[in-house]
Structure 1
Amino acid sequence: MLRRVIAAAVLGVAATATVLLSAGPVLAHGFSSTVYVDVTAGDAGHVRTSVELEYDLFIVSAADYEKDDPLFRAGTDAFEAEDDAAMGTALNAHRDSAVRYVTERFGVRSAGVDCVASPVGDFTTGVREAVPYATLILDWTCPKASDAHEVRSALFPDSETYIKGAKTIVTYELDGRTGSAALDTGQPSFSTGQSWEQRFGEFFLLGAEHLLTGIDHILFLLALIAGSRRLREIVLAATAFTAAHSVTFMLAALGLVDAPAAVVEPIIALSIAVVAAWHLWRLRQHGVHVADLESGGGHFSLDRAGWIRLGVVFCFGLVHGLGFAGALGIDEAFSWTLLWSLLVFNVGIETVQLSLIALVFPLLIVLRRRSPRAGLWTTGIISAGVSVMGLIWFVQRITQG
């Protein structure tokens, strides 16, 4: 029985795997980037922004946008040499091109009128997320006074084709308010006058979108659903997963933990394969009785197997939290306001998880009750397919790390 299930799953996944493999490297969160902006009140009524951009992407984008080949050559040479001083020199030698790229894609408005940017000092470089970042400080002169300012960002758009889904994380202390916002193609601007409900709503939607658009997280959830025997079991597993990744997510945001993507990404892929293979192993051990609970179930109606599985899911959730943090480029301490926003981000993830469980798991229960054999085949094929994809990604990320 199990061999036929696995064989059918492998055949079913083969075409998908071929497409994914031919498309190039598969990363848990895709090749993207995060821009960091800190907005404060400057001198003489100015608005001051500190803009941090990933150095190598900034060089390529600015040079292409401005048709500045010398900037590209000098910048990439300095980047490949890992020479911080040379990186700063390359940007400052081509200051006009680099500043123009930023100011034409990033801006501040007051009372509906664009503010005018003036660079403050030279470009500086540093390390963030274990990669070089460039920092540009701008003072904005606003022709019209207002009790709220609008900040917009279209830095590193998808149309440049170098990356996809770039985000700008903004923290601000301006107009008597403090807060944070996440800007992207779908939400390119925000106002400092927005309510806390609006700010948190953006991060809630960002968390929901992150789960729905992350195929690795969807497959991990499918593996959990397929291997769960009771609704309570899958809800506890999903909640344990969220609690675990929230812990490491927040620790990363506080700057207390950090792990390179070359380590985190393969473990995430392996976790997908292991959780899916867990059900296949139980299927081989118990056959048609795989959905039965062992005698002497304890708290929360979980037996020994259920508790072990819950512990495994929690441990893997800790690693996934580092993946979430890496997706937003979070590895340094932020304001408490942003930490609360990130907590709402996690609530968005959990809400989508529970919604998907509410949609899928009842169908699986009905199928198991009406046709145990069909339920066996369905969960076996899902688990085998997910396990295969997890192993494919694991090998890819190990060999490309």
Structure 2
Amino acid sequence: MPIPWLAIPCTDSETCEQLKKLFRVSVTPCLTLLDRSGKVMSDNGAHQYFELEMDVYMDQAQNYFVEHVVTERMPMLGFILNWSRSRTSFGRSSVPVSELKGKIVGLYFASALYSPCDVFTQKLVEVYNKLKEGEESFEVVLICLEEKSKEPFEKIFRGMPWLSLPFKDERCGKLIRYFGLIAVPTLVILGPDGKTLHPNAAELVEDYGTQAYPFTAEKMVELEEINEARLKAQTLESVLVEGERDFVLGKDGIKIPVSQLVGKNILLYFSAHWSIPCRNFLPELIKAYHDIKAKDEGFEVIFISRDRDESSFQSFFSGMPWLTLPFGDERIVSLSRAFKICGLPTAIALGPSRQTVTKDARELLTKYGATAYPFLGDRL
């Protein structure tokens, strides 16, 4: 689709690079909003646009972004679902939507063609069944994003114990727009009164399981305390080991036990070949890596690939001098959730005494190079 606005020619790479540095662009898409005087009103316009899903007049944008949040835009669920309508599901009887009244409801936005949804579904099924066994007043409604073929919808819903809106139901699109959906999986939690308790509890379910229920503000405070306790007890093994997966890979596929990395400064490098910022940052990181290693052998980088196919992963990793997790490793998803990775490239620094030193190591390396190491003190 052609864009209707002005553009800097792609051949003017010098100006593009100057603007990237000026506005500190590290991930894409990035939308920086300027007022008429050239003052930056927001450097997170892309996220805010998708989240609020509305055009904002430029003179009022700054105040609007501050004053409006997702949870303030959610009146009763019946406004969209229409309580008088019923739900039809593959291979199951219809259930009146009115039966959801008074319950805590999770609207589960998912795609049958996106593997992270499959992984999260397994966790959500586990949590859902445990809450049902405990006779909690909780229900989940699938909002499937598939529109072209009914087969993927039937396939994903067949393994779910909860409810669903019918395939290609018009309310699916309304809910997607209403809640400002920007990613899947997303689990919107609605309270017994139909108002939003949490705009996306997927991370909470993944991290805390049934402990996250009933997703109230009081429960969020409790979970924060649990998280602080986790951070204090964090070890390299707790971060990188899952079951029998207690290793990373070196060159030529050599398995390196995680235990051999204990006591070192570790950089978890989340990246992907398809991302231009990632490809641009890689030479900087390689140079810094060699400079740091020349002075401190107790430093190591672990590549956490978000590539979409193994050939891209192998091609990208072949130019890296450090370690990696295997392509498609289950730990990639859990690490991305644990550190709340929402943009690439991202570098997380872990200290020798097991703590997370900083989640902004990529920015520090760009600004200071190898002298940013070990990412402490005035460099933070």
TM-score interval (norm. to shorter):
under 0.3
Q: Taking CA–CA contacts closer than 8 Å with sequence separation of 6 or more, which of the two structures ends up with the larger relative contact order?
A: 1
TM-score of the superposed pair, with normalisation by structure 2:
0.28
By percentage of residues, which structure has more helix?
1
Q: Which has the larger radius of gyration?
A: 1
